[in-house]
């Protein structure tokens, strides 16, 4: 069911709660919030069973009246009160109570109230007892049943099993005495038992604990709490006196607190709260305070007064009454009925008048109309968000199997033969699954005739009930007489024809029909099958076959179930014919498969989710020729969700997917809730005199097989009645939730009729259907908030016809704040301003979270409550979009934090989401403090949040989509439902809402930060034809014949730009200094990121058209041009486009396996090594240069030719021949083969000697394994000569790949705090007067490699190196960190050639694997400390400027920051 229907149902049930529904409201302590309720508890007789007073309750803005004088009654309560003997205390005096323990033994307890101090004393005297007597005791704090152990105890006290205290009595003759002093003001009571150790005898209070309530010291006036409704009235009166000004929120709060201060001042002068209430009520209402009394000689039944109070509340507009107003309304309603009684009407006559609405009622003007001030927000707790981090990552368990072509079934063979025999053109061929049987429909066509052939292997006689369609698909028209096969019967708008059994002696026995249609005017044929009085349909709908060639539905290749738990999905497919009998069958089969799914890991559970989701979206049959009792469905649900709960508790890595399964399945019943579905529809029919028509048909359907459709039907009836019986509203609700007239007719017990009620049935039906909705949702809805709350906090119903005899006990050990939060949520579920509601929902989820992290009793009910709260957040956010239309950025950002928090609370691996949330909190603080960089920083957090959502979507797609495609193909699910499966899963969660909010905020931030709609990386004017591609990587090796402008949805940063490309435009955000960015600038290709989705969509619509791009400093202007302008435009860069002749010089082995930096020459090493050697001693002393050695050119070739590597050399030779013939797959094989090289002993000796003499650590000193790691890293550098990107890049510029030689630069890794890349001439603008640099946290691989997100970027004028200007804050979620280690850098003779930038094409490999760390920028001084940032960025700029001056030309520099010091690891000419 969609979120919308769930929420609509919820809203209606909140507004339409019956006056007979006695579930009590609750406050933060878990008791009823009415003071009258608490008085009833306090004054009850010890030992007497308490029943709640009759209550009238309207959740939402509702009426809640308690009759004060009623000690007993028929009712129920949400929270049970423990019945126990209470030693009543009066804080004004010494208190005493006596108990007879045995024949001569008495217990006396005195409690001394505090006077000047805070200590309370409990004096316990036991008379006529000898021996050793112990007090076994504990304290009650925060109204919890578990004992607290006070730290201040009498002498001799010992702790017993960490659960109780034991204190010995003092003996005085035959008596024993003990005094306990309580100095903790939070302790409300003590409980105890007596133990006579000598006789091993326990003394109890009627088998229960003795319970002693402790008095509370009278509070000073400063501690007096003025009721909020009085403060509200006083604030309103102040507002009136001041001319009803428009206040800011801050002024509102100030006025509100000023009103409170005025009332407190009155109290200090001697006024009582009653005085204040009388004055304010009279002053505000203009009416006299009502007497809360009734004539003693006349009585009105309470239930009638409740109904009348409800009608008054409705007529008043359903205001939000205070408890006092509720009580007044109840008494006023009773007065109106007494007035009728005084006029001579009997109670029965009054009852009838109420039903017909004939009692005159005068509703006073409500304070609600005047309400200006309202304390309507909860106070959220301050939490350390890092404590919310989950890092549960499931490891996929892939099945090993060989995909084999699926063998044709006998029926499929028959269908194939029939198709071949017919010989005519096949227009349509469909095989429908009919349980374990099949139905073939084959439509062929000659020049003038259409032939429809139907065949089935069903063995019982089959009748075809059919009609033809002329104007639209699905139409039913009576076939013309010349079309009817022999023996057919013509009916109104249809015909019936009997199938004929074949008698050709074939092994497969089928029955078939042929229909020949000579007229061309028909579009297709509608039909159903009939057998033994039962209708056979297509998943509940009519079959339809078209007579025109249909676009073929091409199913996505699932590669035989690759990426799925295939054996599980095959089992599901085999059992589907059994599962479609009923929900009971389906849930029981799912329960049987749960262990197999768990053993298959996340893909197994994904299979269960996909199956259940196909069911929930009605892609699978719900009920087929099988009657099942609702309680049996409920029991099966119960069994399945119980098993899922167990996995949830013990396998935290699967919790996210288990939540989705449980929300799809529904809760199931406890206390025989399922059976109530059958019973209570009868109550509705009996109470409201509606035993025929639609209600009887629905009754039969419910008895036969209830389903989630019944929740929608019930809601449709409620909407229909509320609309004053507008039948259009009934159909609107049904259709919006996927229930059509055809679906109603498809049930085994079809619903043919429309509802038709009388006006006098309205109130009763609304009351009873509202109650019935609760029963339906208790079984079918996994995300219904109200029923989820009730299941956790308990309820019991008796004698009202709904949920009779059902008792759910409250869950123990819930946080004390949770009841009040959930009450707040229910009361605000429909408010227009959704912000307080969202805060309440999230605070409730936060309170609930610790209970969901470990196994516990009733975990399932807590899970369903959390799922319901999650769903309510999503619905509230969607309702709040209108509120944001005119909101400023701060409000939108706050909403983003709320939705992001909700998403994080529902995610297994949420570390990145939590750090995004911390980022938004920092952005909000910057906004409120008017920081100049708030928008720029917020934009970086927005970009990171988008990346996190994209990663989550990709993960969902990886886990779910293959299973959806494979299982969908097995079960014949509609292709459109398969295609959008993962998309719909994402859309139904918080990620979709979050994405919408980000889209709202993005343009605001770009405008505020002056970012524009574009970031131009390579500003080149271009003319070309628009080609739209999903990712640049997929086309990087392509050559376009015409000048092409690529609009690529994804660009990672390491791709090549295809030949013929004149521009690349993308919404992705590769770093300005990434490989593809450098390639674009070198190749004079326009390259830019577009932040505006509308601009990007417009460009995509222009696919195939010729356009001109004109970059400016911050924008790109584009326009369509004519064909003859192509030649002119292409000539602009004609000289640029012609590749300059680039050649490689073959290098030879010099006889040395390793050399130190002083030996670096162009014959031995590449420019990378030579440049780093040149810098030593020439740069300023504060710039560090790492020590280096190298394996020079020719070493690889020498190692390959070594006798020990003969087999490897031969294999490489053969693979290079394959590569030369065009088999690019050989590249991967060459790389794998190179890794098999053995190290000649001389190489090891020389490298060890050079590294040690240079002061570098030798890996082998830490053991042979460490050397093997180093050797593998060296081989990976050599092997990168054959990576795809590098190989095709050299071919593009016609370099001889065999001449490419690879030296290896060896450096000790500096464990960097930050890494940077500098271009000493701004690459985007070409401005040589300013330096451009990018900085990342950790190692530089995240900057130069294809890691998602942006680095911190800044520019700095060379004449003002102390004033760096930040252009963008970082959004990279991952940082790389490493232990002290060695890195082996590629240094080929193909890098930094004139006219060819080979830098970055080959790999640099550290000896140790880097650790990926999810980054928290809110604790990074580079982000939060302005002075630190300025110092670091200025140092980077100074180093770049110094190196440029040293070389006398623009430089591309890489380096790191460690402990504030700058280190440069390489430099090359800027290309």
Q: Which residues are catalytic?
A: 1075
Cα–Cα distance, 252 to 462 (Å, whole number): 76
CB atoms inside a 10 Å sphere around CB 1273: 22
Describe the chain by its helix, strand, coil percentages, rounded to 5.
45, 20, 40
Q: Helix, strand, or coil here: 1217?
A: helix
Q: Return the axis-axis angle of helices 859-879 and 630-650, rounded to nearest 10°.
A: 90
Pair of tokens at residue 1354: 């800044």
Q: Minimal CA–CA distance to 803: which of 22, 19, 8, 52?
A: 22
Q: Helix, strand, or coil here: 1307?
A: strand
Distance set, CA 644 to CA 658, 870, 887 (Å): 7, 19, 42
CB atoms inside a 10 Å sphere around CB 1119: 8
DSSP H/E element including 125: strand 120-127
Distance set, CA 412 to CA 443, 501, 507, 969 (Å): 16, 18, 13, 15
DSSP H helical segments within 473-565, as ranges? none
* Per-position b or e across 609-647, b if 16+ CB within 10 A of its CB: bbbbbbbbbbbbbbbbeeebbbbbbbbbbbbbbebbbeb
Contact 1436, 1362 (CB under 8 A): no
For the chain, the distance separating the N- and C-terminal CA atoms, rounded to the nearest angstrom, is: 58
SS (H, E, C) 306-344: HHHHHHHHHHCCCCCCCHHHHHHHHHHHHHHHHHHHHCC
Cα–Cα distance, 775 to 677 (Å, whole number): 7
| CA contacts within 13 A on the Cβ side of 1247 | 25
Pair of tokens at residue 1217: 């021949």
Which positions ≥6 away from 535 have C-beta within 8 Å? 528, 529
Contact 829, 841 (CB under 8 A): no
Residue with tokens 């000579």: 518
Cα–Cα distance, 415 to 183 (Å, whole number): 89
In sequence order, what E strands does 378-424 have? none
Contact 1268, 1344 (CB under 8 A): no
Residue with tokens 């085999």: 574
Residue with tokens 């206040």: 247
SS (H, E, C) 966-980: HHHHHHCCCHHHHHC
* Plot region of 390 (φ>0 → left; ψ -120 to 50 → alpha; else → beta): beta
Residue with tokens 């069994």: 639
Distance set, CA 132 to CA 195, 200, 484, 1216 (Å): 8, 10, 104, 97
SS (H, E, C) 913-980: HHHHHHHHHHHHHHHHCCCCCHHHHHHHHHHHHHHHHHHHHHHHHHHHHHHHHHHHHHHCCCHHHHHC
């Amino acid at each position: 069911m969609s979120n919308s229907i769930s929420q609509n149902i919820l809203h209606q049930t909140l507004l339409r709660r019956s006056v007979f529904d006695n579930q009590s409201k609750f406050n933060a302590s878990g008791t009823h919030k009415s003071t009258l309720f608490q008085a009833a508890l306090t004054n009850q007789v010890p030992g007497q069973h308490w029943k709640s007073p009759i209550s009238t309750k309207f959740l939402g803005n509702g009426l809640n009246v308690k009759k004060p004088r009623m000690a007993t009654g028929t009712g129920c309560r949400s929270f049970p009160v423990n019945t126990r003997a209470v030693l009543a205390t009066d804080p004004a005096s010494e208190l005493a109570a006596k108990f007879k323990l045995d024949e001569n033994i008495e217990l006396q307890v005195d409690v001394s109230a505090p006077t000047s101090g805070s200590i309370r004393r409990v004096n316990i005297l036991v008379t006529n007892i000898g021996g050793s007597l112990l007090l076994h005791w504990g304290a009650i704090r925060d109204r919890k049943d578990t004992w607290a152990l006070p730290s201040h105890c009498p002498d001799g006290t010992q702790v017993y099993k960490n659960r109780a205290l034991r204190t010995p009595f003092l003996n005085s003759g035959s008596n024993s005495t003990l005094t306990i002093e309580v100095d903790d003001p939070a302790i409300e009571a003590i409980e105890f038992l007596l133990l006579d150790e000598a006789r091993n005898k326990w003394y109890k209070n009627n088998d229960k604990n003795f319970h002693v309530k402790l008095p509370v010291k009278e509070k000073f006036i400063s501690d007096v709490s003025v009721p909020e409704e009085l403060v509200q009235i006083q604030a309103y009166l102040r507002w009136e006196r001041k001319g009803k000004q428009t206040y800011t929120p801050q002024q509102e709060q100030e006025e509100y607190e000023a009103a409170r201060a005025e009332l407190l001042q009155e109290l200090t002068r001697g006024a009582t709260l009653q005085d204040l209430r009388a004055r304010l009520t009279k002053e505000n209402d203009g009416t006299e305070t009502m007497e809360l009394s009734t004539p003693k000689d006349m009585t009105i039944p309470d239930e009638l007064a409740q109904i009348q109070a409800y009608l008054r509340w409705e007529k008043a507009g359903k205001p939000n009454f205070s408890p006092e107003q509720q009580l007044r309304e109840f008494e006023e309603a009773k007065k109106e009925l007494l007035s009728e009684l005084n006029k001579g009407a009997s109670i029965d006559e009054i009852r009838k008048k109420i039903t017909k609405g004939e009692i005159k009622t005068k509703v006073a003007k409500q304070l609600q109309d005047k309400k200006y001030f309202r304390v309507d927000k909860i106070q959220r707790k301050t939490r350390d968000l890092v404590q919310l981090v989950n890092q549960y990552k499931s490891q996929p368990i892939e099945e090993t199997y060989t995909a084999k072509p699926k063998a044709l079934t006998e029926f499929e063979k028959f269908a194939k033969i029939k198709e071949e025999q017919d010989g005519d053109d096949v227009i349509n061929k469909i095989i429908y699954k009919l349980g374990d049987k099949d139905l073939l429909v084959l439509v062929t066509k000659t020049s003038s005739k259409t032939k429809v052939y139907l065949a089935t292997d069903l063995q019982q006689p089959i009748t075809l009930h059919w009609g033809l369609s002329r104007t639209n698909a699905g139409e039913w028209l009576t076939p013309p007489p010349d079309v009817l096969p022999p023996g057919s019967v013509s009916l109104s708008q249809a015909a019936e024809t009997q199938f004929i059994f074949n008698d050709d002696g074939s092994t497969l026995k089928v029955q078939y029909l042929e229909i020949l249609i000579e007229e061309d005017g028909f579009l297709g044929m509608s039909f159903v099958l009939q057998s033994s009085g039962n209708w056979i349909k297509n998943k509940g709908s009519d079959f339809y076959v078209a007579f025109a060639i249909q676009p073929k539905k091409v199913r996505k290749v699932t590669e035989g179930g690759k990426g799925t738990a295939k054996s599980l999905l095959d089992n599901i497919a085999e059992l589907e014919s059994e599962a479609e009998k009923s929900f009971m069958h389906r849930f029981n089969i799912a329960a049987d498969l749960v262990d197999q799914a768990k053993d298959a890991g996340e893909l197994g559970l994904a299979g269960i989710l996909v199956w259940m989701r196909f069911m929930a979206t009605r892609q699978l049959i719900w009920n087929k020729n099988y009657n099942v009792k609702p309680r049996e469905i409920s029991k099966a649900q119960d069994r399945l969700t119980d098993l899922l709960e167990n996995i949830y508790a013990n396998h935290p890595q699967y919790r996210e997917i288990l939540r989705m399964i449980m929300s799809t399945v529904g809760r199931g019943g406890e206390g025989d809730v399922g059976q109530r579905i059958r019973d209570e529809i009868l109550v509705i029919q009996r109470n409201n005199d509606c035993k025929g028509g639609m209600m009887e048909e629905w009754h039969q359907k419910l008895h036969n097989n209830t389903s989630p459709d019944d929740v929608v039907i019930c809601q449709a009836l409620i909407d229909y009645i509320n609309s004053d019986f507008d039948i259009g509203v009934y159909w609107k609700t049904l259709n919006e939730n996927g229930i059509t007239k055809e679906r109603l007719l498809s049930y085994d017990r079809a619903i043919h009729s429309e509802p038709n009620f009388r006006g006098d049935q309205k109130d009763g039906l609304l009351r009873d259907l509202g109650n019935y909705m609760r029963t339906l949702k208790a079984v079918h809805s996994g995300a219904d908030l109200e029923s989820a709350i009730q299941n956790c906090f308990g309820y019991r119903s008796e004698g009202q016809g709904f949920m009779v005899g059902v008792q759910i006990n409250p869950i123990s050990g819930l946080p004390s704040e949770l009841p009040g939060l959930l009450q707040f949520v229910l009361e605000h579920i429909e408010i227009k301003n959704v912000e307080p509601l969202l805060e309440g929902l999230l605070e409730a989820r936060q309170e609930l979270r610790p209970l969901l992290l470990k196994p516990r009793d009733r975990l399932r009910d807590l899970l369903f409550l959390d799922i319901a709260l999650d769903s309510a957040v999503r619905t509230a956010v969607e309702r709040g979009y209108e509120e944001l239309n005119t909101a400023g950025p701060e409000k939108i950002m706050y909403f983003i934090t709320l939705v992001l928090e909700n998403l994080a609370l529902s995610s297994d691996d949420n570390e990145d989401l939590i750090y995004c949330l911390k980022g938004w909190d920092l952005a909000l603080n910057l906004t409120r403090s008017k920081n100049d960089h708030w928008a720029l920083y917020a934009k970086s957090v927005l970009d990171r949040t988008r990346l996190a959502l994209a990663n989550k979507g990709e993960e969902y797609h990886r886990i779910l989509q293959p299973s959806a495609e494979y299982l969908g193909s097995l079960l014949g699910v509609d292709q459109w439902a398969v295609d959008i499966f993962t998309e719909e899963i994402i859309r139904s969660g918080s990620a979709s809402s979050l994405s919408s909010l980000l889209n709202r905020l993005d343009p605001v931030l770009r405008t505020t930060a002056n970012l524009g709609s574009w970031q131009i990386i390579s500003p080149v004017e271009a003319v070309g034809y628009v080609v739209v591609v999903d990712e640049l990587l997929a086309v990087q090796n392509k050559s376009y014949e015409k000048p092409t402008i690529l609009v690529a949805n994804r660009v990672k940063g390491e791709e090549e730009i295809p030949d013929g490309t004149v521009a690349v435009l993308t919404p992705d955000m590769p770093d300005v200094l990434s490989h593809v960015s450098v390639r674009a600038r070198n190749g004079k290709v326009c390259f830019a990121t577009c932040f505006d989705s509308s601009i990007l969509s417009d460009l995509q619509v222009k696919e195939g058209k010729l356009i001109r791009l004109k970059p400016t400093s911050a924008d790109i202007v584009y326009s369509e041009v004519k064909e003859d302008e192509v030649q002119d435009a292409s000539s602009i860069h004609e000289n640029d486009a012609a590749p300059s002749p680039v050649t490689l010089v073959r290098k030879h082995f010099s006889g040395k396996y390793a050399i130190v930096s002083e030996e670096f020459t162009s014959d031995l090493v590449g420019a990378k090594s030579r440049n780093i050697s040149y810098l030593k001693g020439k740069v300023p002393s504060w710039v560090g240069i790492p020590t280096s050695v190298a394996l020079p050119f020719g070493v690889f070739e020498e190692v390959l030719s070594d006798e020990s590597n003969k087999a490897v050399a031969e294999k490489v030779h053969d693979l290079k021949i394959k590569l030369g013939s065009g088999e690019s797959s050989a590249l991967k094989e060459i790389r794998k083969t190179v890794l098999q090289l053995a190290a000649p002993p001389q190489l090891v000796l020389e490298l060890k000697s050079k590294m040690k003499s240079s002061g570098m650590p030798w890996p082998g000193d830490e053991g042979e394994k460490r050397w093997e790691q180093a050797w593998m890293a060296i081989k990976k550098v050599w092997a990168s000569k054959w990576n795809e990107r590098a190989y095709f890049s050299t071919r593009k510029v016609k370099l001889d790949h065999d001449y490419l030689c690879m030296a290896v630069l060896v450096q000790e890794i500096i464990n960097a705090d930050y890494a940077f890349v500098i271009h000493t001439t701004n690459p985007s603008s070409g401005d040589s007067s300013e330096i451009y640099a990018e900085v990342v946290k950790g190692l530089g691989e995240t900057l130069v490699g294809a890691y998602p997100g942006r680095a911190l970027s800044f520019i700095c004028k060379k004449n003002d190196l102390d004033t760096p200007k930040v252009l963008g804050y970082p959004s990279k979620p991952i940082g790389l960190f490493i232990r002290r280690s060695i890195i082996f850098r590629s240094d080929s003779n193909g890098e930094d050639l004139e006219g060819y930038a080979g830098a970055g094409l080959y790999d640099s490999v550290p000896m140790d694997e880097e650790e990926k760390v999810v980054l928290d920028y809110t604790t990074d001084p580079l982000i939060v400390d302005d002075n630190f940032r300025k110092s670091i960025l200025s140092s980077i700029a100074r180093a770049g400027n110094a190196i440029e001056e040293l070389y006398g030309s623009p430089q591309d520099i890489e380096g790191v920051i460690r402990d504030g010091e700058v280190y440069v690891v390489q430099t090359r000419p800027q290309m």
